Amino acid sequence: MKLRKVTAVSATVFALALTATACGGDKNDDGGSSGGSKKITIGIKFDQPGLGQKTPNGYSGFDVDIATYVAKKLGYDENQIEWKESKSADRETMLQRGDVEFIAATYSITPQREEKVDFAGPYLLAHQDVLVRADDDSIKSPEDLNSKNLCSVTGSTSAQNVKNDLAPKANLQKYPTYSACLNGLQNGAIDALTTDDSILAGYASQSQFKGKFKLAGFKMTNENYGIGVKKGSDLKAKINEALEAMVADGSWQKAVDANFGPANYKNEPAPKVGDVKS
């Protein structure tokens, strides 16, 4: 009789444990789940050194640091983050489908994009600039790019903007990747590489390129990087609070120095939430 009673009690305890485990997987208000299965999915770039890069040792870059800090403020540890590659052409669709909770991927805030998604931030004010060889003093203004070999990646509008508006006689060179442009810049096949200064600084900060390139500092456009969320999501306000806290406690500047410092990147001060520069 005693054996039967113990068995019955054990069965009851086991059943209660199963119930508790099942309840632990319920979704919470931020799109994750409570208990041990709590996760948040965040979109980043996988191929931009200094900003968002997938490496054999994990993920690194300024956008990764921003997203990790925000996730922590939302209640997620780093090991509860699922990183998902967010290519430029896919970002709005990924948010609309709910593939990710938010995206931090050199995502410039524009009126056209704001029709489809909401943005928290901005968290960085970048500018279109050019990268030149460290020993090249011949390019001191955008006009000096006339008759120079100017590189950008295939499909980018950055080089075309320079040719149309600032240096109509520049020789456009389109390469498949920024790394290919950097190799061309290093061996003299091209004279300058153009895109956002933050992206240029990230590439130039790689160990194999340290000391070989410099940013010209032309600030040809304003690029307000924001964190994209699904239209109408209450995450926008929560992320804005997290970004303000990151600036206030010094973590924002620490992330800038760690990811862009080797390229002598002259960053703008941290932008105020909601202040989008035209």
For residue 177, what is the domain's CATH number? 3.40.190.10
Q: Percent of the chain at pLDDT above 70? A: 87
Is residue 65 domain-shared with residue 176, that is, in the same domain?
A: no
Taking 50 as the pLDDT cut, the residues of the chain under it are 1-35
* pTM of the complete model: 0.81
Residue 141 belongs to some domain of the structure:
yes
Is residue 239 domain-shared with residue 114, that is, in the same domain?
A: yes
Q: Judge whether 162 and 149 are in contact, CB under 8 Å.
A: no
Count of structural domains, the chain: 2
36 Cβ contact partners less than 8 Å away, ≥ 6 residues apart:
24
Is residue 78 domain-shared with residue 133, that is, in the same domain?
A: no
Is residue 43 domain-shared with residue 121, that is, in the same domain?
A: yes
Residue 24 belongs to some domain of the structure:
no
Backbone angles phi, psi at 136, to 5 degrees: -100, 110
Q: How many CB atoms lie within 10 A of CB 112?
A: 7
Range of the domain at 189: 128-215
Residue 108 belongs to some domain of the structure:
yes
Last residue of a domain, one of 215, 248, 273: 215
Residue 19 belongs to some domain of the structure:
no
Is residue 234 domain-shared with residue 259, that is, in the same domain?
A: yes
Report pLDDT for 36.
54
Q: How many CB atoms lie within 10 A of CB 180?
A: 18
Residue 97 belongs to some domain of the structure:
yes
Strand ranges, E, within 156-222: 171-175, 192-196, 213-215
13: enclosing H helix or E strand: helix 2-23
Report pLDDT for 157.
79
Is residue 43 domain-shared with residue 90, that is, in the same domain?
A: yes
Q: How many CB atoms lie within 10 A of CB 5?
A: 9
Q: Judge whether 203 and 259 are in contact, CB under 8 Å.
A: no
Is residue 76 domain-shared with residue 199, that is, in the same domain?
A: no
Report pLDDT for 154.
82
Q: Judge whether 146 and 138 are in contact, CB under 8 Å.
A: no
Q: How many CB atoms lie within 10 A of CB 78?
A: 12
User: In terms of Cα–Cα distance, which of 166, 124, 131 is closest to 152?
Assistant: 131
Residue in the structure block whose two tokens are 């054990």:
10
Is residue 241 domain-shared with residue 111, that is, in the same domain?
A: yes
Residue 82 belongs to some domain of the structure:
yes
Residue 247 belongs to some domain of the structure:
yes
- 45-101 per-position pLDDT tens digit: 999 999 999 999 999 999 999 999 999 999 999 999 999 999 998 999 999 999 999
Q: Judge whether 229 and 100 are in contact, CB under 8 Å.
A: no
Is residue 207 domain-shared with residue 233, that is, in the same domain?
A: no
213-215: strand order across its sheet: 171-175, 149-153, 192-196, 128-133, 213-215
Is residue 168 domain-shared with residue 244, that is, in the same domain?
A: no
Residue 276 belongs to some domain of the structure:
no
Is residue 121 domain-shared with residue 233, that is, in the same domain?
A: yes
Report pLDDT for 32.
45
Is residue 176 domain-shared with residue 239, that is, in the same domain?
A: no
DSSP codes, 124-155? EEE-EEEEEETT--S--SGGGGTTSEEEEETT
Report pLDDT for 54.
96
CA 12, 14, 15, 16 torsion: positive or negative? positive
User: In terms of Cα–Cα distance, which of 87, 86, 63, 76 is closest to 30?
Assistant: 76
